Amino acid sequence: MLKTLSINGFTLIAAQEVPFRKGFTAITGETGAGKSVLMKSLRMLMGDKAQASMVRQGCEKAIIEGTFDIENLPPVKSLLAELEIDNDDELVIRREILDTGKGKARVNGSVVSVSDLQKIGELLIQMHGQSEQLLLRDTRTHIQMLDSFAGNERLLVEYEIHWKEWNSLKNKIRETEARARELAAQKDFLKFQFDELSKASLKVGEEEELEEKVSKGNKGEIEQNYLGEIQNLIGADNGILDQAQNLISKLRSLSQKVPRYSEELEALNEVADPFTAICKDLMRLTPEKGLSEAELDRANARIAEIQKLKRKYRTDVAGLLELVEKRKEELSCIENLDSDLNELNRQLGKCEASLRKTAAELSSSRKAAAVKFDNAVEGNLRELGMPKAVFKTQILEQEMAPTGMDRVEFLLAPNPGEGEKSLQKAVSGGELSRVLLAIKTVMAELDKIPLLIFDEVDSGISGEVGNRIGDALKNLGKHHQVLTITHLHQVASRADNQLAVSKKEIDGRTITSVRELDHDGRIEELVRMLGEDNGAVREHARQLLENNQ
C-alpha cells in the first residue's frame, strides 16, 4: 500500500507531504483545486512521461517521492530482485523532473529506466480514470478479465507454449517450402558448378606444389645446358685439359733451354694438379633428374586450370573447396526437402491437436465462469442503481488466436426491452463507470494490485446511486487500498479516510495544498459539498458521517 506521497515543485504544488491510510480514501475539493495534479503525481510514480511544463515556475526541478509498504507483495519483491534493486518491506520511488524536461527515476536509491518503473508501477497501482473506462470498450480487455475470474492462468501458460510451437513450425514449413522452390529453380546451375568443381579434384596447397615443381624443372634444364657446355670445354679434343697439358709441356721445354722460365714452370705445376682434379670432378657431374617435357606441360596445364577456376569464382582454392561442399549440401537438401516437409507437417499436426485440446479446455472454463461472472456483475449493477440492467458475456468461436479460439465481449442492456449491446458503442460514460466498478467489485479478492485509484468514477451520478457507489467503494476498501476523487457527499461520507484539496493565492502565486481531514474537518468538507451552510445541513453532514462509519 501507499504510505506517503511527497511532492515538491510540481505544477501548482510547491511542497506537500500527503499521508495515506488503509481502506477507502475519498479525495475531495472544489473544481479546479488541483485534484488532477495529485492524480498526475501518482501517475508519475507509475512511469508516465515527464514534461518540462510539470516543473513549477521558478523551480529548477520537480520531485515526487512515494513510499510503499510491500511486506505482503512477493511479486514486487521478485521483480526488484530481478532488476537487482535492494529491497526489504519498504519501497521508495522517486521521480526528478528538470525544467528541461529531462529527469531521473530511482527505486530504493537505484536509478531505473522508465520502462522498468512502469513494470513496478503495474504491480503497485491500478488507475481507473476516463481513459481506463474507455479501455473497457476494448474487447481485448474482456477476455483478460474473464480469464482472471475463471483462474485460467495454468491453461493460458499451456496454451501459449503450444501456440508458440505451432507458429514456429508453420514458419519453418513456409521457409522450407520457399527454400525448396528456390533450390529447385537453381538445380541445374548448382549441379553444373558441383560437377565442374568436383571434376577438378582440387586440393589445398596443390597449386603451390605444382609451381615449385615447374620452377625446379626450369632450373634443371638450365643446369643441364650449362653443365654440358662446361664438360664439352673440358673434355673435348683440344679441350681445356689437353691445352693445359700442352701448356705445361711447352713451358717445360722452354725452361730447359732458357732457365729463367723455371719459376713459372714450378708455379704452373703447383696449380696443375688441383685444376685437373676440379676438371675431372666437373666431368663426372650429372644434372638432377627433372620433369620431362610432357610432365612439365601437364603441370603448367593444371596450374592454368586452377587459376581459371579461381578467376571464374573469384575466390582461392580453399573457397572453391567450401563452395563444392556447399553445392553438395544444397543438392542433397533438394533431395531431402520432401522428407523434411513431411516430418514438419507431422509435428505440426501433433502440435495443433494439443493446441486445440487446450483451447477447448479454455473455452469450456470460460463458458462455465461466464455464467457466474454475469450473475455477480448484474448483482452489483443492481446495487449501483441499475436494477433492470442485464450483463452478458458473449463467447463466440473464432480462428486460433494467441488467447485461444474464443472471441469474448461484454454486452449490456441498461434498460428492459433494449437487448444487450456492445460496451464499445451503446453505453454512456456514467453507465460504463458503474460497469467498471461492478466488475472490480466482483474481482476484488482475485485482483492482486494493492492500490486502486478511481478518478471521478461517480461523474454524472447523484442521489441513491451515489450511496450505492459509495458502498461499493467501501467494500472494495476491504480488499485493497482505494483512492477516489469524488464530488458526491454520499461517496465521501462512506470513505474510511478523507483528503481535501484546496487552492489559494499567496504573494501572487497559486498554490495547491492537500490535507488529511479529522472528524470535524470531514464534517466541514461535507457541508461544503452539500452546498449550503446552516445548522440543519451541518447536522445532516454529521449524521451522514457517523452513520456511514
Residue 50 has pLDDT above 80, yes or no: yes
Q: What contacts 415, CB < 8 A, 6 or more positions away? A: 388, 389
**Which span out of 178-187, 322-331, 504-513 was modeled with the highest average pLDDT?**
504-513
The predicted structure's pLDDT at residue 129: 63
Residue 96 has pLDDT above 60, yes or no: yes
The band of 289, judged by pLDDT with boundaries at 50, 70 and 90, is: low
What residue spans of 413-506 are helical by DSSP H?
429-442, 463-476, 489-493
**How far is Cα 211 from Cα 208, in angstroms, rounded to an integer?**
5
* Cα–Cα nearest to 9, from 65, 58, 56: 56
Residue 87 has pLDDT above 80, yes or no: yes
Is the separation of the CB atoms in 297 and 204 below 8 Å?
no
**How far is Cα 397 from Cα 154, in angstroms, rounded to an integer?**
21
Residue 219 has pLDDT above 70, yes or no: no
**How far is Cα 33 from Cα 452, in angstroms, rounded to an integer?**
22
Q: What contacts 477, CB < 8 A, 6 or more positions away? A: 22, 23, 24, 495, 496
Span 289-301, mean pLDDT?
Answer: 74
Unique residue bearing C-alpha cell 502440435 = 351
Is the separation of the CB atoms in 5 and 65 below 8 Å?
yes
Q: What is the pLDDT of residues 396-420, one digit of tens each?
A: 999 999 999 999 999 998 888 778 8
The predicted structure's pLDDT at residue 82: 93
Residue with the larger pLDDT of the pair 78 and 209:
78
Sheet holding 390-401, edge to edge: 390-401, 404-413, 421-422
Is the separation of the CB atoms in 435 and 448 below 8 Å?
no
**How far is Cα 273 from Cα 62, in angstroms, rounded to an integer?**
112
Continuous segment of H or E residues that includes residue 238: none
Tell me the three cell numbers of residue 494: 462512506
The predicted structure's pLDDT at residue 265: 86
Span 5-29, mean pLDDT?
Answer: 94
Residue 130 has pLDDT above 60, yes or no: no
The predicted structure's pLDDT at residue 506: 87
Read out DSSP for 387-438? TT-EEEEEEEEEEEETTEEEEEEEEEESSTTS--EETTTS--HHHHHHHHHH
**Which span out of 130-144, 265-279, 295-309, 480-494 was modeled with the highest average pLDDT?**
480-494
- Mean pLDDT, rounded, of the chain: 87
What residue spans of 186-261 are helical by DSSP H?
187-200, 206-235, 240-257
Beta bridge partners of 16: 7
**How far is Cα 57 from Cα 359, in angstroms, rounded to an integer?**
57
Span 69-75, mean pLDDT?
Answer: 91
**How far is Cα 328 from Cα 196, in angstroms, rounded to an integer?**
12
Is the separation of the CB atoms in 183 and 337 below 8 Å?
yes
**How far is Cα 103 from Cα 291, in angstroms, rounded to an integer?**
82
Task: Say whether pTM exceeds 0.85.
Answer: no
Percent of the chain surpassing pLDDT 90: 43
The predicted structure's pLDDT at residue 176: 85
Compute the C-alpha angle 519/521/525, nearest 5°: 120
* Count of beta carbons in the 10 Å neighbourhood of residue 512: 23
